Structure 1
Amino acid sequence: MPSNQYEYPPVDPNLLYKSANETKKLMSDASKVLDKLSSSKDFGSKVMYFAERSDIEEVKRLIKTTGIKRDVKIDYNPDGLRLEFDSTTENVPCCKLFVTLRWR
């Protein structure tokens, strides 16, 4: 009778550990953006205004003023905003964090 046993390689949590730490940094950046959007209707209005006019460079500039450390991919549509934070460790894409916010 054939065995369904599979030999698994030894567990090595190093990449998982690094990925978790990188994700914490992404969460810190996301938190800065969310703090600004949740505390300043003026800031949110500016983001919406320029997004609705497809001025991506101004939207990026505004998001950068929140103090984030990394680049963020920004996408928007008539209903809201989507931010994609990503990072690499050991030259390997390790983690992504998506934030989707609605304004309609």
Structure 2
Amino acid sequence: MQPSNRSPYPPVDPELLYESANQSSKLMKEASMVLDKLASSKEFGARLMDVAQQSRTDEVERLIHSVGITSDVEVTYNPDGLELVFKSKVKNMDCCKLSISLRWR
């Protein structure tokens, strides 16, 4: 009797991983847009901090989106900083997210 060369595991399908990687690449580009704006404009950062301090969440989110991002982003903040969680879906299934935490105090 010869040993079986068949794997005990099912065949792999990299399609979802491929799509997730592509979506993650888009999220990274959009996160870079936000970071570039914050790194290049103290006025933008000051405005963002000011409206966050006033708990004007809609305006904080509007400012974040004003740099041209189209991805879903969850924005949270507190007196110490800002957290952005960029999210994407593939085939109506959560596939990837990118979290960025920034300190401002």
Is the pair's TM-score, using the shorter chain for normalization, greater than 0.5?
Answer: yes
Corresponding letter in the other structure for 2:92: N
Is structure 2 residue 84 aligned with structure 1 residue 83? yes
- Counterparts of 2:11 and 2:72 in 1: how far apart (Å)? 35
- Counterparts of 2:8 and 2:92 in 1: how far apart (Å)? 28
Corresponding letter in the other structure for 1:37: L
Gaps of 5+ in 2: 1-6
Query: What is the 5 A alignment of 1:47-66?
Result: 47-66=48-67
Instruction: Please list every run of at least 4 consecutive aligned residues from structure 1 whose deviation after the TM superposition is greater than 6 angstroms.
Output: none
Q: CA deviation at 1:43?
A: 0.2
Q: How many residues align?
A: 99
- Counterparts of 1:47 and 1:71 in 2: how far apart (Å)? 18
State the SS of the aligned residue for 1:76: strand
Q: CA deviation at 1:71?
A: 2.6
- Counterparts of 2:101 and 2:47 in 1: how far apart (Å)? 17
Gaps of 5+ in 1: 1-5
State the SS of the aligned residue for 2:72: coil
Corresponding letter in the other structure for 1:56: T
- Counterparts of 1:79 and 1:95 in 2: how far apart (Å)? 26
- Counterparts of 2:52 and 2:104 in 1: how far apart (Å)? 11
> Residue in 1 aligned with 2:26?
25
> Residue in 2 aligned with 1:8?
9
Normalising to structure 2: TM-score of the pair? 0.90
Percent of pairs with identical residues: 58
> Residue in 2 aligned with 1:41?
42
Greater gyration radius: 2
Supply the RMSD in Å over aligned alpha carbons: 1.0
State the SS of the aligned residue for 2:94: strand
